[in-house]
Structure 1
Amino acid sequence: MSVSLDIRLKKADKVYYEGDNVTGFIVIQSNSDFKHDGITLIMEGSVNLQLSSKNVGIFEAFYNSVKPIQLVHMQCEVLPPGKLPADKTEIAFELPLKPKQNRELYETYHGVFINISYSLRCEMKRSFLSKDIQKSQQFLVQYKPNQNEGSKPVTFSISPSSLSLGWAGAPDFLLVGKLDSTRCSINRPLTGHLVLERCEKPIRSVEIQLVRVETCGCAEGYARDATEIQNIQIGDGDIPHNIQIPIYMIFPRLFTCPTLIKVNFKIEFEINIVIVFQDDHLVTENFPILLTREQ
């Protein structure tokens, strides 16, 4: 006898907002009648934190006591113990998406050291002679868009004298440009432009990097780790001087979320403009950005 269990959501994009009802069907298929000891549906949402291996010794007390921060937990009985017929059975469900008391919902986010995820889990209990059956289905949570609070443009000028640590033997160069806003709505691209005004050495590449900065911690201390999300080449080879090069970057779904600052964790983002010279030297200019979800 073969029994399969599936969870199908009504919304194709699987995106929900706080206060929405998560609706769908539990689909059970079997080639013969069978008994079960009850079917349960569980909605869960949590923030999972971990430290990188380089920080384990420093914050051992925190590392050993890290527990997921539970945001949502709801359980309901779909069917009491009984018997289901052969073929296909569909059971409709509807669960309200609400946080636990004294908690709030955050957007779905998949990072390296911080993960925010939401899921439905269906469990079918069977007799001791048969294996219990489980099926999970993830869904996405987003904030409702807020009013647009306006842009915060920033102009920049990169040259040997502007480098914070300096660079001995750096060629004489000047790269100027503008980011249209360092306050970025996550559903719109980051835009701007740059112009290479002069450079005495040939350039191999000009790139723009999106970096996430994840901070985990407690009273014992905080661990801060920066990791690259994506790197886009916007200039290939020895780019011509005094030509405006556009900057255009779409924020990837799931790997970014609105900037989040909480007691035990932070999720922040930065932009790096990178110039790679043909002799493999590189220059990086860093710009912290604030990600929001606005109309």
Structure 2
Amino acid sequence: MAIELKLSRSNRVYCLGESVDGKIITILASPVSYQKIIISLTGTVNLQVKGGVTGVIESLYGVVKPICIVKKSMELATSAGKLGPGRTEINFSFSLSSEEKSGYDMFYETFHGGNISIQYLISADVTRGYLHKALSATLELIVEHDKASLIQVPISPELTSFFITQDTQKHQLLPELSSGRFQVTGNISTHCSLSEPLSGELIVEASAVPIRSIDILLLRVESILTGERIISDTSVVQITQARIVPLIHNYHH
């Protein structure tokens, strides 16, 4: 016996207010009796531990319980029946909205971070009574905000300046750097679209030792509210190694 969930969109990406259409597909060697056929949508916010060194947020794992933000279900078959042998397709359709006042009606965009995840799962359950195991299948649904409905706020062209010297570093430095001169300046745009390159300028003005490479790190900061405290943790999303150009180096990331 096999059961599968298939959505009309192969990328499984939907916006709030759109219709989610799909099929429950069963492949059976012989007829199977059922009591109910139910399609469900559940959205949760979770802490997740991926092994390795335990961070600040990971230390709360087991203390902070998963938060349910969406919970919907629909019965496709309300009375007992029978699924025939071979392949059977059962269509379903529901609106991705928060019209039901069930106490769970908050939609946020799907997010899979290093410590926190917001996930939406569609489940199909063919219940068969107490003596028989239910046929079940689960598929993740990706929720995104409708970009067309968002207020288009012009991105500020202003750049944020930064400087790095031996005195701004908290970690231990080579004696040559501690006693010698080291200075890096530059600027970067901190307001940008995720679909556009992150750009800026970096200038190595002085260095007591030769520089072999420059790594640019993109970090993700995740925060949770526990009691009256906000706890944050940082993880690396991407590392780009910049090519060294004499005097001035312009980079696009």
Per the normalisation by structure 2, the TM-score is 0.81
Q: How far does residue 44 in structure 1 lie from its aligned partner after superposition?
A: 0.9
Alpha-carbon contact 2:48-2:117 (below 8 Å) kept: no
- Tell me which of 186, 189, 200 is aligned to 1:177: 186
Query: What pairs up with 1:70-219 in 2 under 5 angstroms?
Result: 70-79=68-77, 80-99=79-98, 101=101, 103-145=105-147, 146=150, 147-160=152-165, 163=168, 165=170, 169=178, 171-179=180-188, 181-219=189-227
**Paired residue for 1:244?**
249
Write the distance in 2 (CA, Å) between the matches of 1:170 and 1:130: 76
What secondary structure, in the 3-state scheme, does the structure 2 residue paired with 1:169 have?
Answer: helix
Q: How does 1:249-260 map to 2 (within 5 A)?
A: none
Deviation, 1:162, is 6.6
What secondary structure, in the 3-state scheme, does the structure 2 residue paired with 1:223 have? strand
Per-residue CA distance 1:257-282 (angstroms, 9 max, x = gap): xxxxxxxxxxxxxxxxxxxxxxxxxx
Task: Report the alpha carbon displacement of residue 182 of structure 1 after superposing the two structures with TM.
Answer: 0.9
**Structure 1: 5+ residue stretches without partners:** 249-295
Question: Partners of 1:176 and 1:12 in 2: how far apart?
Answer: 46
Q: 112-121 or 214-223, which moves further after superposition?
A: 214-223
% identity of equivalent residues: 29
Counterpart position of 2:16: 18
Distance 1:90 1:10 in 2: 13
Q: Give per-residue Cα distances to partners, 1:176-225, cap 9 Å, x unaligned.
A: 3332x211222323223323344331123211112122222332533221
Structure 2 CA distance for aligned equivalents of residues 170 and 21 of structure 1: 65
> Which whole-Å deviations, capped at 9, do the CAs of 1:88-145 have from their partners, x for residues lacking one?
1111111111236474311111123211011101111124443212111001111122
Q: Where in structure 2 are there 5+ consecutive unaligned residues?
A: none
Q: CA deviation at 1:156?
A: 2.9
Distance 1:212 1:227, change over 3 A: same
**Does the 8 Å contact 1:6/1:28 carry over to 2?**
yes
Q: Which runs of 4+ in 1 moved over 4 A?
A: 50-56, 100-103, 164-168
Aligned letter for 2:134? D
Tell whether the 8 Å contact from 2:37 to 2:76 is kept in structure 1 after alignment.
yes
Can you list the C-alpha shifts for 1:212-246, whole angstroms capped at 9, x where unaligned? 222223325332211112212123xxx24224231
How far the C-alpha of 1:24 sits from its partner, in A, is 1.0
